[in-house]
Amino acid sequence: MIPEQELPLELSEFDSVDAAYPAELSRCEEALLGGLPVLVECDKELTPYFYKSVRDRLKNTGRTCLYLDGRASADRAGAMQTGIVSAMVNELREAVRGSVEQALIVLPHLDLLTTSSGGLTTEAKEVIALMYENPTILWLAFKDHSFSVPQVIENLFPHRETIIGIARDRLQYLVTQRECRKFGRGLDLFKLYKYVSGINSVRLRRLLSSLQGEDYPQDPSPAYQQLRRATLVGQLSIPEVDLYKGIGGYHKVKRRLDNEILKLLQAKDRQEEASQVDHIESLIPRGMIFWGPPGTGKTLFAKAMASFIGAAVIVVSGPELKSRWVGESEEQIRQLFVQARTSAPCIIIFDELDSFATARGTYTGSGVEHSMVNQLLTELDGFRDNEMVFVVGTTNFVESLDPALLRPGRFEFHLHIPFPAADDRREIFAIYDQKFALQMSERALDYAVKRTEDRVEGADTLYTGDHIQALCRSLARLRLREQRTDATEVEDVERAMTEYLDRPELTTQEEKVVATHECGHAICALHCKHAPPIDRISILGDLAGSLGFVKYSDPANKYVVTEGSLLDSICVLYGGREAEALLLDDISVGAAQDIETATGIARALVEEYGLGPSSIAVRSYTRYPDSGPERPALSEHSRALLDEAVQSILEMQRQRAHQIIRDHQQELLALREILLEKKVIDCQLLQQVAVGNPGRPAAGAAGTQAAGVTATEEAHGES
């Protein structure tokens, strides 16, 4: 906190340049005195003020400055003048060819003289020739960040200065005592710098002098808000997304983002010692990768972070940056960073970062991606620690990104945003329930959460936040069409999900076959100790690629697999086929996938897990430790033993499934009748009809299954 009396009483816009950029001005002076041309890249509004400060420093040297802005030539030509650019070219021509001794020529608008899209303009070609014509001339030129000049012109300037914003240690010299009173008693340098770091000193003076409000307010936030609104460039705005209230679920993701980023920023705002602030700023990652499946809210999390720190957001899609013109893609990336730094605090979101930032050497396009990655790396490495600018790259394929981007100091913070779990989906539904006034009953909410565990019908993906939003919007439209004011029930959720789906229309006989098959799976699952509890049975064809399925709940133990659970899985897989064999005149081919899966489990038991018959040695038969993916050469005898062991396991579990089906035939018939009538049986209905072993509830019991090992399919479908 800097006391008010230590701040200047008055400060003009010209004086602010000397106060804000003493080091830059000194470097320009030294270069010019040494005979080196200087190119200054800064905002247009800063150019005349910066030039005046340089000129004042050179007065004692006796060097003459010619300021060529086109006005003198335009005044002489009067109405016949064709334009300001032509006037500047005329002045440049006269100055170059009329100079007989070393002079300092100032070009305040070098970018306007030489900027063009595609090929060079006629004026640009003449300017290039003129600037190389007289070697005795010393140049001081200015260009805006938004424009580029040809490389052949840039080569004329061995000394270059780039001015974006102001340094934090100079801010105390740019605020007057009168302006300080708008922010309370004393100047909170670090808090103010957060909002003005990207603007030049001239603009800062204009903004501060126009501040409204009372002196020494109890709450200085209105003054800071005035500055924040004024420093937003173009159409930028600050998103309003609350990390905890606006995004449902994802508590682990929120906690990590809060601990690693947001709490550090909060701690920085509370510090008053410069050394402590510098230390915290050195710890905050500037580049971040938010990765996960499409639709899980990666961009939404970035916007929530922006809302928390009051930052503007620039969202740009990777493919939008690619251009057919050489160098234009890199220039667009550079301009993005200039805009972000000018509007700081700001977050740049590169959506689909993998579209151009894949590992170098893997490109199949024009090769522009290589240059784009290099430009992105250059911009990331060019940040000042105290600049409140962050870069977030979102991607579905983090493994494909260039390793140079992922090293510490660049995109070092990686945040995984997965498919929403059940608790996450419940909170997401609750948010949209309130937003769209759906009035979902508890039963409907429970059903919606359970129902969205399956894959999205017609798409090979699980439900994401975007899918849930679309479902809730569909419910809202349904209620609006029917002018509903009552609560949303289970039937409404199912109708919104399936009303317009193109499902297979089964005949009565086909429905009977599918129901028999699925009930066979269910009966075996109910009577196998290690099988996961049943969550849902359906013959509606509401799972992509299946006419029917049995959906199981998540087991209590997800990371440990046992021999008993694998054998029970094989038994359950055979249940559908054995039910058809017992109750129907003919067997369908719907068990093909079940048999393939069962065979794979049995082979893994014998060849990988060492759980085969005692006649088989306990070792791995799929690969040697140093052979990689190569399968070891086996003798015919060993192969025969392995095949015999696999066949023995399969046949034993098939007979076991057959025996369970036969012993519980009446339960199977009763369950099939209910399924044919209801089409869907959930865990509650399954418990009500009291099918199966009273000691094993339909859902909620503990199973044993290992993540990464297919013990039982989530849904056994009749193909």
pLDDT at 117 (0 to 100): 55
Residue-level length of the chain: 719
Q: What is the percentage of the chain residues whose pLDDT exceeds 70?
A: 86
* Residue 304 pLDDT: 92
Confidence class of residue 716 from pLDDT cuts 50, 70 and 90?
very low
Mean pLDDT of 248-274: 88
**655: pLDDT strictly greater than 90:** yes
Where does the pLDDT of residue 32 fall: very low under 50, low under 70, confident under 90, or very high at 90 and above? very high
Q: How far apart are CA 29 and CA 57, in angstroms?
A: 7
Return the pLDDT at 89: 86
Instruction: Give pLDDT, residue 214.
Output: 85
Distance CA 142, CA 44 (A): 8
Phi, psi angles (nearest 5°) of residue 604: -65, -40
Q: Please count the CA atoms within 13 angstroms of the CA of 664 that sit on its side-chain side.
A: 27
Task: Establish whether 10 is a catalytic residue.
Answer: no
Q: What pLDDT is attached to residue 158?
A: 92
pLDDT at 528: 92
Q: What is the pLDDT of residue 697?
A: 47
Question: Band of the pLDDT at 645, cuts 50, 70, 90?
Answer: very high
Q: Between 536 and 324, where is the model more confident? A: 536
Mean of pLDDT values over 27-54: 92
- 515 pLDDT more than 70: yes
Report the distance separating Cα 84 and Cα 87, nearest Å. 5
- Three-state SS at 492: helix
At residue 570, the pLDDT reads 95
Average pLDDT, the chain: 83
Q: For the residues 325-331, what does the mean pLDDT come to?
A: 70
Confidence category of residue 710, pLDDT binned at 50, 70, 90: very low
Please tell me the predicted confidence (pLDDT) of residue 451: 86
3 state DSSP class of 671: helix
Pairwise pLDDT comparison (63 vs 690), residue with the higher score: 63
Catalytic residue (one of 41, 369, 518, 578): 518
pLDDT at residue 632 greater than cutoff 70: no
Share of the chain above pLDDT 90, in %: 34
Residue 518 has pLDDT above 90, yes or no: yes
User: For residues 204 and 207, what is the distance between their CA atoms, to the nearest angstrom?
Assistant: 5
Two tokens, residue 252: 């682990």
CA 139 → CA 86, 91, 128, 133, distances in Å? 19, 14, 13, 13
Contacts 24+ apart (CB under 8 A), 87-95: 88/112, 88/113, 89/113, 89/123, 89/126, 89/127, 89/130, 92/68, 92/127, 92/130, 92/131, 93/126, 93/130, 95/66, 95/68, 95/137
Q: Enumerate residues 6+ apart whose C-beta is below 8 A from 697.
A: 533, 687
Average pLDDT for 40-59:
92
Instruction: Please state the rounded mean pLDDT for residues 225-242.
Output: 81
At 702 the pLDDT is: 30
Q: Summarize the confidence of residues 211-225 as an average pLDDT.
A: 85
Answer whether residue 28 shows pLDDT above 70: yes
3-state secondary structure of 166: coil
Helix (H) or strand (E) holding 54: helix 47-58
Confidence of residue 303 (pLDDT cuts 50, 70, 90): very high
The residue type of 77 is: A
**Residue in 590, 566, 442, 426 with CA at minimum distance from that of residue 514:** 590
| Confidence category of residue 157, pLDDT binned at 50, 70, 90 | very high
Instruction: Return the pLDDT at 706.
Output: 32
Q: Where is average pLDDT lowest: 210-219, 243-252, 258-267?
A: 210-219
pTM above 0.85, yes or no: no
Assess whether pLDDT exceeds 70 at residue 630: no
Given this model, what pLDDT does residue 65 score?
85
- pLDDT tens string 74-104: 555 554 456 788 888 888 888 887 765 667 8
Ordered by where they begin, the domains of the chain are 4-8+167-230 (no CATH), 22-162 (3.40.50.300), 251-416 (3.40.50.300), 422-498 (1.10.8.60), 508-688 (1.20.58.760)
Q: To 10 degrees, what angle do helices 422-435 and 442-451 make? A: 130
Which of 12-26, 358-372, 553-567 is least confident? 358-372
- Using alpha carbons, list the distances in angstroms from residue 376 to 285, 308, 385: 16, 25, 17
Q: What is the pLDDT of residue 330?
A: 78
